[in-house]
Amino acid sequence: MFIVQAAVLFLFLYTAPSKVAGLITVFLMGLLAFMNVPGLQVYVVQLAERFVPTAVDVASAINIAAFNIGIAFGSYLGGVITDSIGLIHTTWIGSLMVLAAVFLTGWIRLLERKDNKTAGALTQES
C-alpha cells in the first residue's frame, strides 16, 4: 500500500497542472493516506499481544500518538518546503518520505522473521 501511495504522490507532480487529472490524483492520495492506518493499528496490537499482553492499550495509544506526531512533522516539513523551494516540490519529497516508510516496514518484517526463526530454533532445542 505504501508503494502505491508513493507512486501517487510522485504522479501528482505531473498531474497537478491539469484540473481533472489533479483532482483524481488528490482523491487517490486521500484514499491511500488513511487506508494504511487500520492495518498498521492491527499490526501494532498483534505485536503487543505477542510480546507484552498487559500493555495492548498502551501500545495502541502510542501508535496513534505516533501517527499524530507524523502528521505534525509532515505538515511542518511541507511548510518549510513550500516556503523555500515551492509547493509543487512537496509531492516528490512526500513520495520519498513514504518510500522511507516502505524501507522501515521491510526492515521490521525482516527482524520479525529473524525473531520467528530464532524462537523456532529455541523451541526445537528444548
Name the nearest CA neighbour of 23 among 34, 10, 36, 12: 12
Task: Report helix angle 2-15 to 89-125, nearest 10.
Answer: 170
- Would you call 99 exposed, middle or buried from its count of C-beta atoms within 10 A (0-12, 13-18, 19+)? middle
Q: How many domains does the chain have?
A: 1
- pTM, two decimals, is 0.75
Q: What's the CA gap between 120 and 117, in Å, rounded?
A: 5
Mean pLDDT lowest among 33-37, 70-74, 120-124: 120-124
**Containing domain of residue 30, as a range?**
2-125
Question: Which secondary structure element, helix H or strand E, spans residue 21, and what is its range?
Answer: helix 19-51
Q: What's the CA gap between 13 and 65, in Å, rounded?
A: 30
- Phi, psi for residue 87 in degrees, rounded to 5: -60, -40
pLDDT tens-place string over residues 70-112? 999 999 999 999 999 999 999 999 999 999 988 998 898 898 8
